[in-house]
């Protein structure tokens, strides 16, 4: 998952902020948690929950919010990257180091479980292989460039140490490239075509051997990130006086979601009336729900939730195994334990790691900004 970049208050202004997107990110992060918990005792249930589609939704959100941030608040490249680095790196490296130290615990939780699934067997194999190349994996994860290592040269480079951390590799390289894409795209229709061609090129590069198997390569998520960026600029057009395109946009989005079999895209389409500021029952009721205190909190802590929940789940699996429970009892303990430990851990991480380091990054970026011209 992807960290929140900037929340966008409900308003009809194309440059307004939408706190509902934070809540949506929070729900998506717990969708990922539920999917991973399901895989601990049922491959079939895990497939049905399809939490990979939640990550696709994360990428759409990230594309939308990052391009909104760059468009609304232009700043020098170094300032932009500094802010983004301090947003995602501290919590990520904390979980990477903790997970590396707890590799034996992770393997034990999966191998000793009385309900070993095919997904668990696959993860055990990857964790055991990771140990053979741990220094290389740690180096790449420290740089957040594990998405650039072909898996035929470094097996499991995308899911090493922190399995769900593959998406952070995508996110970081997206941050590095996004300002360049924005600059190209501002060149009018030729620029739009060039930017989309580069997106297609990244996607095709991700189909090559070695990178095809590396889910952390940015090309694998390029279409979703691009969709988020295009959504932001289409929103600007609509709220500036083209609201007659609301329902045709929703209709086309539903068709695309069905054809692509993407629940994440379908959810994005469902909240589109909220995103463009539509004032009707179809938007107002979901808007109230998404602005509830609980969902806003889930959004604020979504990044830490995404990063820490697997360790919480492994700890819960060990406890459930030691209790010698039947299937129902095992599933209940793992589920409740994962939710409880994740909720506590993500709150602590958000308050003690994310917020302080974000503030430090903001101070550093402010000093850099005073000595540089404003353009991203």
d(CA 215, CA 156): 10
Averaged pLDDT for residues 332-346: 99
What was the pLDDT predicted at 11? Answer: 44
Confidence of residue 280 (pLDDT cuts 50, 70, 90): confident
For 123-161, the three-class secondary structure string (H helix, E strand, C coil) is HHHHHHHHHHHHHHHHHHHHHCCHHHCCCCCCCCCCCCC
What was the pLDDT predicted at 371? Answer: 80
With vertex at residue 189, the alpha carbon angle to CA 7 and CA 71, rounded to the nearest 5 degrees, is 20
Residue 156, sorted as left (phi over 0), alpha (psi -120 to 50) or beta, turns out to be left
Task: Please tell me the least confidently modeled range out of 75-79, 133-137, 278-282.
Answer: 278-282
State how far Cα 307 lies from the chain centre.
10
Share of the chain above pLDDT 70, in %: 94
d(CA 221, CA 198): 13
- Say if residue 13's pLDDT is above 60: no
Q: What is the mean pLDDT of the chain?
A: 93
d(CA 167, CA 164): 7
Averaged pLDDT for residues 202-219: 96
- C-beta of residue 66 within 8 angstroms of C-beta of residue 5: yes
Averaged pLDDT for residues 68-85: 96
What was the pLDDT predicted at 1? Answer: 59
What was the pLDDT predicted at 5? Answer: 42
Confidence of residue 281 (pLDDT cuts 50, 70, 90): confident
What was the pLDDT predicted at 12? Answer: 40
What was the pLDDT predicted at 275? Answer: 96
- C-beta of residue 56 within 8 angstroms of C-beta of residue 349: no
Buried residues in 55-82 as b, exposed as e (16+ CB within 10 A):
bbbbbbbbbbbbbbbbbeeebbeebbbb
Q: What is the dihedral of CA 211, 217, 223, 228, to 10 degrees?
A: 180
Nearest by Cα to 86 from 371, 376, 307, 354 = 354
SS3 category, 10: coil
For 219-256, write each residue's pLDDT tens digit. Answer: 999 999 999 999 999 999 999 999 999 999 999 999 99
Share of the chain above pLDDT 90, in %: 90
Report residue 260: phi and psi, to 5°.
-85, -5
Confidence of residue 189 (pLDDT cuts 50, 70, 90): very high
- Say if residue 34's pLDDT is above 60: yes
d(CA 179, CA 75): 10
For 14-27, write each residue's pLDDT tens digit. Answer: 435 689 999 999 99
Count of other CB atoms within 10 angstroms of residue 153 = 10
d(CA 97, CA 85): 17
- Say if residue 155's pLDDT is above 70: yes
Confidence of residue 327 (pLDDT cuts 50, 70, 90): very high
What was the pLDDT predicted at 7? Answer: 40
d(CA 208, CA 293): 45
With vertex at residue 320, the alpha carbon angle to CA 318 and CA 325, rounded to the nearest 5 degrees, is 140
What was the pLDDT predicted at 260? Answer: 96
């Amino acid at each position: 998952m992807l960290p929140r970049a900037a929340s966008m208050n409900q308003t009809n202004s194309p440059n307004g902020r939408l706190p509902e997107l934070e809540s949506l990110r929070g729900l998506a992060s717990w969708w990922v948690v539920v999917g991973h918990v399901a895989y601990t005792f049922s491959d079939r249930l895990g497939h049905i929950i399809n939490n990979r589609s939640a990550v696709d939704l994360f990428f759409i959100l990230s594309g939308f919010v990052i391009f909104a941030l760059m468009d609304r608040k232009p700043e020098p490249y170094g300032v932009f990257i500094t802010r983004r680095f301090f947003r995602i790196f501290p919590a990520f490296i904390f979980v990477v180091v903790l997970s590396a130290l707890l590799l034996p615990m992770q393997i034990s939780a999966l191998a000793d479980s009385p309900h070993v699934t095919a997904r668990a067997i696959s993860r055990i194999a990857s964790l055991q292989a990771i140990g053979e190349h741990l220094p290389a994996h740690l180096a790449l994860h420290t740089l957040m460039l594990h998405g650039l290592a072909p898996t035929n040269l470094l097996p499991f480079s995308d899911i090493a140490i922190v399995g769900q951390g593959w998406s952070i590799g995508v996110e970081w390289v997206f941050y590095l490239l996004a300002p360049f894409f924005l600059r190209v795209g501002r060149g009018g229709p030729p620029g739009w075509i060039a930017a989309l061609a580069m997106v297609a090129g990244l996607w095709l590069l991700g189909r090559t051997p070695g990178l095809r198997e590396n889910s952390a390569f940015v090309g694998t998520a390029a279409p979703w990130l691009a969709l988020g960026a295009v959504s932001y600029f289409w929103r600007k057009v609509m709220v500036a006086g083209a609201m007659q395109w609301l329902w045709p946009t929703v209709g086309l989005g539903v068709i695309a979601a069905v054809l692509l079999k993407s629940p994440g895209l379908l959810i994005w389409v469902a909240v589109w009336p909220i995103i463009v500021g539509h004032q009707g029952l179809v938007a107002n009721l979901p808007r109230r729900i998404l602005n509830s205190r609980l969902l806003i909190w889930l959004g604020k802590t979504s990044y830490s939730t995404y990063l820490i929940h697997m360790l919480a789940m492994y700890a819960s699996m060990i406890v459930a195994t030691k209790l010698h429970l039947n299937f129902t009892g095992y599933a209940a303990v793992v589920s409740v334990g994962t939710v409880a430990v994740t909720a506590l851990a993500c709150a602590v991480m958000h308050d003690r790691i994310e917020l302080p380091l974000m503030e430090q990054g903001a101070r550093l970026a402010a000093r850099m900004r005073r000595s540089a011209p404003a353009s991203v």
